Amino acid sequence: MNISTRAINLIWPVVRIVALLSATVVGCSSNESAKAGDGGSGSGGLSSPPPASGAGGRPSGASAGSAGVIVGAAGAAAGGGFAGSMGGSLAGSGGLASMNGGSGGAGALGNGGRSDGGAAGSLIGAAGQSGSAGTSGDPTKAGPPMGWASWNTFAAKIDYNVIKGQADAMVSSGLKAAGYQYVNIDEGWWQGTRDSAGNITIDQSEWPGGMKAIADYIHSLGLKAGLYTDAGKDGCGYYFPTGRPAAPGSGSEGHYDQDFLAFSQWGFDFVKVDWCGGDKEKLDAQTAYKGIASAIDKATKQTGRPMALSVCNWGVQSPWNWAPALSTMWRTSYDIIYYGENADMKRVLANFDSAQHPTAQSPGHYNDPDMLIVGMTGFSGAQNRTHLSLWAIAGAPLLAGNNLATMNADTKSVLTNAELIAIDQDPLAKQGVRISDDQGKQVYNKVLSGNARRAVLLLNRSTSAGSITVRFSDVGLGAAASVRNVWAAQDLGSQMTSYSATVPAQDSVLLLLTGT
């Protein structure tokens, strides 16, 4: 174990305890506080090795999926799977992008699926009005999930009204129209209680109508609903309670079939499965998540509702080697920030680097560098753009973590930038890779669908501004290419051989290149 991993292992529990102390703890008794402390400092630390660098082999069985086609380079967002998962259509007034999703329906999961989705969507224009998103679509082939998750802003301090407020804001802010669709409820919804038959029980004062009611509400907005549990017996809310009392029993171990069937029956389309209990119990991650994926398959067969699985074991036990065959996305590192921390570019870059497993990624299966911290305290507009550029170049899931109800106009426009989203959602689902590094002045290249199209990120990690050059031959293009600056929305004309830009320290320039 190297020093930085040891530091993380030591720091994580401490940070979470600090977060606990500074958070508004709901009804925390002294007994529960003591338990939290024991879990954190005594035995709750992460003990597994860090994610190794280098790409793992792509497991057989990972689906290649059928790619959609986007016509019109400057058209709007979305990949084939995304189109396939949208029951409606989008119509607006920007450039033309037509898509043949070709991947809709739940047939790949073996049950024929629901009838309200699966048809390929069509999308005209970048600023289109959204039709209603279907509740089906095949997560094994869809684009990287886009949505919002509750953890970064609210920690465990969530209830029906918090989630409803964010779902409403996803629509009113324009995020839904831009392609965001999942509203993901993270830790805090369940305190580990079960009835005598082992069914999860919910505090009705916080979740009137149970979890089905909030899933129904999310669906009524044309969005999809996500939920959260742990692979072990006790979840992170027991070992590192943040905003609520320690919750023993808040994991699904011993109840996989029962819990995932319940989630599906309640209407959830996505489930993130954390690893605090699994890690503490030293479970074999591949075995545990295989059991979970199989429980989800069984649930889907019964309810007809496909459910995307998000493996959240922080990159321990090399999930890029086995999770692509089981899941939609798998975390490749520890948390991008811990609750209460400010956004920090070093952490963004570290998580981006840890997620580099290009051969593991394919349509419907994504390395997950963690939820976004775009728009959170500590980041400037430029930092928000660099963060999103990194995730888009990686083809990573885009799960916003900021408060959607209070975000400012700049954050909104960054999150909804159609060209950025189109790069992220490109149907080839390639992970962009680094092709050069001159003392921290780096070039990343992502091959896009269509004819000779590349997204290129000029990233300056150094402490001084400097010129960064992309040579067209290095990204597999010929002598000439037309160059567009994505964030400036500026065509820079046809260039010969290469393109150079001056990039400020710790900043980036995102380009779209089209070869001739």
- Give the residue numbers annotated as catalytic, written as ranges: 274, 335
- Shortest Cβ 44–ligand GLA spacing (Å): 11
When asked if residue 352 is in the footprint of ligand GLA (CB under 6 A), the reply is no
When asked if residue 20 is in the footprint of ligand GLA (CB under 6 A), the reply is no
When asked if residue 187 is in the footprint of ligand GLA (CB under 6 A), the reply is yes
The Cα–Cα gap between 258 and 246 comes to: 23
Single out the residue of 326, 418, 250, 283 nearest to residue 62, CA to CA.
326
When asked if residue 335 is in the footprint of ligand GLA (CB under 6 A), the reply is yes
CA separation, residue 226 to residues 130, 279, 489 (Å): 20, 23, 33
Which CB atom, from 307 or from 373, has the smaller least distance to ligand GLA?
373
Q: Per the structure block, which two tokens stand in for 333?
A: 């590192």
Which CB atom, from 391 or from 499, has the smaller least distance to ligand GLA?
391
- Shortest Cβ 317–ligand GLA spacing (Å): 15
Which CB atom, from 9 or from 462, has the smaller least distance to ligand GLA?
9
- Shortest Cβ 228–ligand GLA spacing (Å): 6
- Shortest Cβ 508–ligand GLA spacing (Å): 25
Which CB atom, from 332 or from 442, has the smaller least distance to ligand GLA?
332
DSSP assigned state of 515: E
Which CB atom, from 166 or from 508, has the smaller least distance to ligand GLA?
166
Which CB atom, from 279 or from 424, has the smaller least distance to ligand GLA?
279
- Which x/- pattern over 383-402 shows residues binding ligand GLA (rule: CB under 6 A)? --------------------
Which CB atom, from 47 or from 380, has the smaller least distance to ligand GLA?
47
Which CB atom, from 234 or from 274, has the smaller least distance to ligand GLA?
274
Which amino acid, residue 421? Answer: I
Place of tokens 């459910």: 307
Which CB atom, from 189 or from 207, has the smaller least distance to ligand GLA?
189
Which amino acid, residue 38? Answer: D
Alpha helices in 377-497 (DSSP H): 381-394, 409-415, 418-424
Do 289 and 248 touch, CB atoms closer than 8 A? no
When asked if residue 279 is in the footprint of ligand GLA (CB under 6 A), the reply is no
When asked if residue 341 is in the footprint of ligand GLA (CB under 6 A), the reply is no
The Cα–Cα gap between 172 and 169 comes to: 5
Q: Per the structure block, which two tokens stand in for 391?
A: 């995730």
Site for ligand GLA in 309-328 (CB under 6 A): 312, 314
- Shortest Cβ 184–ligand GLA spacing (Å): 10
Do 275 and 310 touch, CB atoms closer than 8 A? no
When asked if residue 379 is in the footprint of ligand GLA (CB under 6 A), the reply is no
Biggest CA-to-CA distance, the chain = 72
Q: Is 429 left (phi over 0), alpha (psi -120 to 50) or beta?
A: left
When asked if residue 186 is in the footprint of ligand GLA (CB under 6 A), the reply is yes
The Cα–Cα gap between 244 and 25 comes to: 5
- Shortest Cβ 217–ligand GLA spacing (Å): 22
- Shortest Cβ 236–ligand GLA spacing (Å): 3
Select from 97, 236, 283, 404 the one that contacts ligand GLA (CB under 6 A).
236
Which CB atom, from 141 or from 347, has the smaller least distance to ligand GLA?
347
Q: What is the DSSP string of 148-208?
A: EESHHHHTT---HHHHHHHHHHHHHTTHHHHT--EEE--TTS--S-B-TTS-B---TTTST
Sheet hosting strand 480-485, strand order edge to edge: 433-438, 441-447, 453-460, 507-515, 480-485, 490-496
CA separation, residue 233 to residues 229, 230, 256 (Å): 10, 7, 11
| Burial class for 54, CB neighbours closer than 10 Å (0-12, 13-18, 19+) | exposed
Three-class SS state of 485: strand
Select from 148, 151, 268, 289 the one that contacts ligand GLA (CB under 6 A).
151
Cβ atoms within 10 A of the Cβ of 152, count? 27
Helix and strand numbers (H, E) in the chain are 15, 19
- Shortest Cβ 399–ligand GLA spacing (Å): 10
- Shortest Cβ 398–ligand GLA spacing (Å): 15
Return the ∠ at Cα 328 (arms to 325 and 332), rounded to 5°: 90
- Shortest Cβ 319–ligand GLA spacing (Å): 13
When asked if residue 274 is in the footprint of ligand GLA (CB under 6 A), the reply is yes
CA separation, residue 215 to residues 114, 222, 265, 269 (Å): 17, 11, 10, 9
Return the ∠ at Cα 428 (arms to 305 and 51), rounded to 5°: 80
CB-nearest residue to ligand GLA: 236
Q: Per the structure block, which two tokens stand in for 388?
A: 């999103």
Residues binding ligand GLA (CB under 6 A): 151, 186-187, 236-237, 274, 312, 314, 335
